[in-house]
Amino acid sequence: MNTENAIQFPEGFLWGAASAAYQVEGASAEGGKAPSIWDNFSQLPGKTKNGTDGKVAVDHYHRFREDIQLMAKMNLKTYRFSLAWSRVLPNGEVNQEGLDFYGALIDELIANGIEPVVTLYHWDLPQALQDEYGGWESRETIQAFLKYAEVVFKEFGDRVRYWVTFNEQNVFTSLGYRWASHPPNVSDMKRMYQANHLVNLANAEVISLCHRLLPDALIGPSFGYGEVVPETCHPQDVVAAMDANLFNNDWWLEVYCRGTYPQRIMNVLKQLDLDFEVTAADTATLKAAKPDFLGINYYHGGTVRRPSATVMNEKNLEMTDPYLMAADGQKETPEHLLFQSVSNPYLAKTDWGWEIDPVGLQIALRNVYEKYQLPIFITENGLGAFDTLTSTDEIDDDYRITFYREHLLELANAIACGVPVIGYCAWSFTDLLSWLNGYEKRYGFVYVDRTDEDVRELKRIPKKSYFWYRDLIAKNGQQLTEEK
């Protein structure tokens, strides 16, 4: 299927851009805000690039009106942003100044014809909840999350229709509890799976709460999805890709959409003593909640092959399911015997080595929709690159335009194949702080003049891609046809 002659995006398609509080706001100790786990983690030596943090970020907290003017001039239909929980309920109690800030932001968006899409949790848990309860390892944190959500649903529910529960649960649980490269800086897979289960419960409960309090609202998680393909058509590579998709994607999507964990993975975790308790009440909670849409953050997919002959021979496992045979209490990672990641020779890479795979977006959308039958909202997609200012203070980011054009063509292909896509949020509107890569890895349509070390004037300069996206939105994507 291709869209050679006519590219159709639905009427009212939500053309947008996204951000996250910690990455743009700054004002990390202003307006009554308490520290989040990211405020503290970024101060640990060696954890972030050049010790970069969100103290000032790109100062969206003070400059949101200027930023929204730029959004409006760009014809943006929607802006996805997150609330800093530690600004709204710094120490468990409501901070009016925090609510006022987000109220003003939301009002300003609406006054400019921009639909707010609000993410409840983009990784910046209040530090107090980490200290007091152990963060997502405690059911107390679920209760605190519901309290916070209830406050903001009641405060903004009259103006906000679209809500995102958790941003990339797959990313923050694995980086936070497995690889110790995000807070809470833990490297323990048993704890990771337990915390992940509690986040699943929090996700389900907050969806049910939203449906009770705001029957007209639409709510769903934003998941970091990457389709995994086999390296070759060797049947064992195909099996490896099936397992990789289960581990990387369906492990979460099955829970979000059906309230159940894939049995295949549960068996593997049990074998490795990584299983966790799921009570009957938990199952009821998970099954009772159904998202209204699936948010998909798409950057790239993956490629895998069967585990190497050495691994298989060592274990004498060839030609059978390794987990049926591996009864020696071995402690490899769950993925070790199932698949090995390899790079895809057909794909170019970004300056940071991420594969660029626009067709993977079409594949992802079609597969996710076929399996889960929910409308999809692309809540992130973008290119991190080094941008340079010309001598006349311009940024000719043709590479970013190419990236977006190719991805949007594949998005249009998916829509033409019948996938209902509500909207598309590019990542990001302005340049912002990359959690681990500082300010040099730029994603925005709008350049922000600062470096890792020097905050400078934080001047906003629209890039070439800004004008390209503006014109694209004005014609509801038709420009893609003209450019083909």
Residues 6+ away with beta carbon under 8 Å from 170: 223, 224, 248, 251, 252
Q: For ligand BG6, what does the binding mask look like between residues 127 and 166, x meaning CB under 6 A? A: ----------------------------------------
| Nearest distance in Å: CB 433, ligand BG6 | 8
**3-state SS, one letter per residue, for the chain:** CCCCCCCCCCCCCEEEEECCHHHHCCCCCCCCCCCEHHHHHCCCCCCCHHHCCCCCCCCHHHHHHHHHHHHHHCCCCEEEEECCHHHHCCCCCCCHHHHHHHHHHHHHHHHCCCEEEEEEECCCCEHHHHHHHCHHHCHHHHHHHHHHHHHHHHHHCCCCCEEEEEECHHHHHHHHHCCCCCCCCCCCHHHHHHHHHHHHHHHHHHHHHHHHHCCCCEEEEEEECCCEEECCCCHHHHHHHHHHHHHHHHHHHHHHHHCCCCHHHHHHHHHCCCCCCCCHHHHHHHHHCCCCCEEEECCCCEEEECCCHHHHHHCCCCCCCHHHHCCCCCCCCCCCCCCEEECCCCCEECCCCCEECHHHHHHHHHHHHHHHCCCEEEEECCCCECCCCCCCCCCCCHHHHHHHHHHHHHHHHHHHCCCCEEEEEEECCECCCECCCECCCECCCEEECCCCCCCCCCCEEECHHHHHHHHHHHCCCCHHHHHC
* 463 contributes a contact to ligand BG6 by CB under 6 A: no
Strands 228-230 and 218-224, bridge-based pairing: unpaired
Q: Which is nearer to ligand BG6, 57 or 421 (CB)?
A: 57
Tell me, yes or no, if 380 is annotated catalytic: yes
Region of 40-48, 167-175, 188-196, 454-462 interacting with ligand BG6 (CB under 6 A): 167-175
Minimum separation from the CB atom of position 227 to ligand BG6 (A): 16
**Is 271 or 381 the residue whose CB approaches ligand BG6 more closely?**
381
Q: Is 20 in the site for ligand BG6 (CB under 6 A)?
A: yes
Query: Which of 42, 48, 167, 169 is in the footprint of ligand BG6 by CB under 6 A?
Result: 167
Q: Which residues, numbered 215-254, are part of the site for ligand BG6 (CB under 6 A)?
A: 224
| 423 in Cβ contact with 14 (< 8 Å) | yes
Residue 54 or 384: which CB sits closer to ligand BG6?
A: 384
Residue nearest to ligand BG6 (CB): 434
In this complex, which beta carbon is closest to ligand BG6, that of residue 297 or of residue 303?
297
Q: Which is nearer to ligand BG6, 13 or 38 (CB)?
A: 38
In the complex with ligand BG6, the residue whose CB is nearer, 124 or 231, is 124
The neighbouring-strand residues paired with 341 are 304
Shortest Cβ distance from residue 427 to ligand BG6 (Å)?
6
The footprint of ligand BG6 on residues 265-304 (CB under 6 A) is 297
Q: How far apart are CA 146 and CA 289, in angstroms?
A: 14
Residue with tokens 């925005």: 444
Nearest-angstrom CA–CA distance, 181 and 174: 9
**What residues between 418 and 447 interact with ligand BG6 by CB under 6 A?**
427, 434-437, 441
Q: Which of 380, 457, 482, 483 is catalytic?
A: 380
CB of 113 to ligand BG6, least distance (A): 26
Out of 115, 380, 387, 440, the residue judged to bind ligand BG6 by CB under 6 A:
380
Residues 431 and 448: their CA atoms lie apart, in Å, by 6
Q: Does 94 bind ligand BG6 (CB under 6 A)?
A: no
Count CB atoms within 10 A of the CB of residue 403.
20
Query: Quick one: 296 or 421, whose CB is closer to ligand BG6?
Result: 296
In the complex, least distance from residue 299 CB atom to ligand BG6, rounded to whole angstroms:
6
Q: How far is the CB of 435 from ligand BG6 (least distance, A)?
A: 5
Taking the least distance from each CB to ligand BG6, the nearer of 329 and 353 is 353
Should residue 63 be labelled a site residue for ligand BG6 when binding is judged by CB under 6 A? no
Least separation, in Å, of the C-beta of 48 and ligand BG6? 11
Cβ of residue 324: shortest distance to ligand BG6, in angstroms?
A: 35
22-41: contacts with ligand BG6 (CB under 6 A): 23
For ligand BG6, the closer of residues 416 and 436 by Cβ is 436
Beta bridge partners of 355: 349
Candidates 67, 168, 250, 410; binder of ligand BG6 (CB under 6 A) is 168
Q: How many residues bind ligand BG6 (CB under 6 A)?
A: 15
- Residue 171 within binding range of ligand BG6, rule CB under 6 A: yes
Distance CA 484, CA 468 (A): 14
**Minimum CB distance to ligand BG6, residue 289 (Å):** 22
The residues assigned a catalytic role are 380
- Applying CB under 6 A, the residues found at the interface with ligand BG6 are 20, 23, 167-168, 171, 224, 297, 380, 384, 427, 434-437, 441
